[in-house]
A and B are shown apart, each in its own frame.
Chain A
Amino acid sequence: MSLQELWLLLPVLIICVGVLTLMLQAAWQRNNVLAQGLTVLTLTLALGALIRQYPTDMRTITLLFEHEPIGGFFSLLLLMVAISVALLQGPYMGKNSKEVAEEFYILLLLSCLGSILLVMSRHVASVILSIELMSLSMLAMLAYNRERKLALEGAMKYLLLSGAATSLLLLGFALLYATSGQLLLTQMLSSPMQLVAKSGFVLVVAGLAFKLSLVPLHFWTPDVYQGAPVNSTLLLTSLSKAAVFALFIKLILLIPPEFEADMVRMLSWMAIASMLLGNWLALQQRSLKRLMAYSAIAHMGYVLVAGVIAMGIDHSLVLEGASYYLLAYLVASILIFAVLTLLSKLDEQQDLDDLPQLQGLFWQHPWLASVMTLAFLSLAGMPITIGFIGKFYLLTLAVKLSAWWLVTAMLVGSAVGLYYYLRVIFTLFAPLQRDIQQTSGAYLSKMWIGVITAGLLLLGILPGLLGDELRRILAIG
Chain B
Amino acid sequence: MEQALVELWPILLYFAFTLVLLGGVMLVSTILGPRTRGHSTHLPYESGILPLGNARVKFANHFFLYAIFFVIFDLETLFLFAWAISFEQVGVTGFIEALVFILILLIALVYLWRIGALNIRKRHLPEQN
The answer to whether B7 touches A194 (Cβ under 8 A) is yes
Segment 51-109 of B: residues with Cβ below 8 Å from A: 93, 104, 107-108
Which residues in A have their C-beta under 8 angstroms from that of B36? none
Complex Cα–Cα for A24 and B107 (A): 7
Across the interface, name the chain B residue whose C-beta is closest to A25: B111
The answer to whether A196 touches B114 (Cβ under 8 A) is no
A26 within 8 A of B: yes
The answer to whether B7 touches A27 (Cβ under 8 A) is no
The answer to whether A195 touches B7 (Cβ under 8 A) is yes
Q: Least Cβ distance of B105 to chain A in Å? A: 11
B8 within 8 A of A: yes
A223 within 8 A of B: no
The answer to whether A103 touches B8 (Cβ under 8 A) is no
B41 within 8 A of A: no
Across the interface, name the chain B residue whose C-beta is closest to A106: B111
Number of interface residues of A (CB under 8 A): 15
A20 within 8 A of B: yes
Complex Cα–Cα for A96 and B126 (A): 15
The answer to whether A103 touches B126 (Cβ under 8 A) is yes
Q: Least Cβ distance of A84 to chain B in Å? A: 25
The answer to whether A27 touches B113 (Cβ under 8 A) is yes
Instruction: Say whether, besides A20-B107, A24-B110, A30 and B7 are in contact (CB < 8 Å).
Output: no
Complex Cα–Cα for A26 and B116 (A): 12
User: Which residue of B3, B108, B129 is within 8 Å of A195 (Cβ)?
Assistant: B3
Q: Least Cβ distance of B10 to chain A in Å? A: 9
Q: Least Cβ distance of A177 to chain B in Å? A: 15
Which residues in B have their C-beta under 8 angstroms from that of A195? 3-4, 7-8
Complex Cα–Cα for A100 and B111 (A): 14
Instruction: Say whether, besides A20-B107, A23-B111, A27-B113, A100 and B4 are in contact (CB < 8 Å).
Output: no
User: Which residue of A20, A23, A30, A98 is within 8 Å of B127 (Cβ)?
Assistant: A30
Complex Cα–Cα for A1 and B93 (A): 9
Complex Cα–Cα for A30 and B113 (A): 14
Segment 14-37 of A: residues with Cβ below 8 Å from B: 20, 23-24, 26-28, 30
Instruction: Say whether, besides A20-B104, A100-B126, A100-B128, A27 and B115 are in contact (CB < 8 Å).
Output: yes
Which residues in A have their C-beta under 8 angstroms from that of B11? 196
Q: Least Cβ distance of A16 to chain B in Å? A: 8
Q: Least Cβ distance of B127 to chain A in Å? A: 7
The answer to whether B114 touches A27 (Cβ under 8 A) is yes
Greatest chain A CB density within 10 A among B107, B111, B126 is at B111
Q: List 10 A-B contacts (CB under 8 A).
A: A23-B108, A24-B107, A24-B111, A26-B111, A26-B114, A27-B110, A30-B129, A100-B126, A103-B126, A195-B4
- Which 3 A-B residue pairings sit nearest by Cβ, starting from the closest? A27-B114, A100-B126, A23-B111
17 A-B pairs besides A26-B115, A195-B7 with CB distance below 8 A are A1-B93, A20-B104, A24-B107, A26-B126, A27-B111, A27-B113, A27-B114, A27-B115, A96-B129, A100-B126, A100-B127, A100-B128, A103-B126, A194-B7, A195-B3, A195-B8, A196-B11
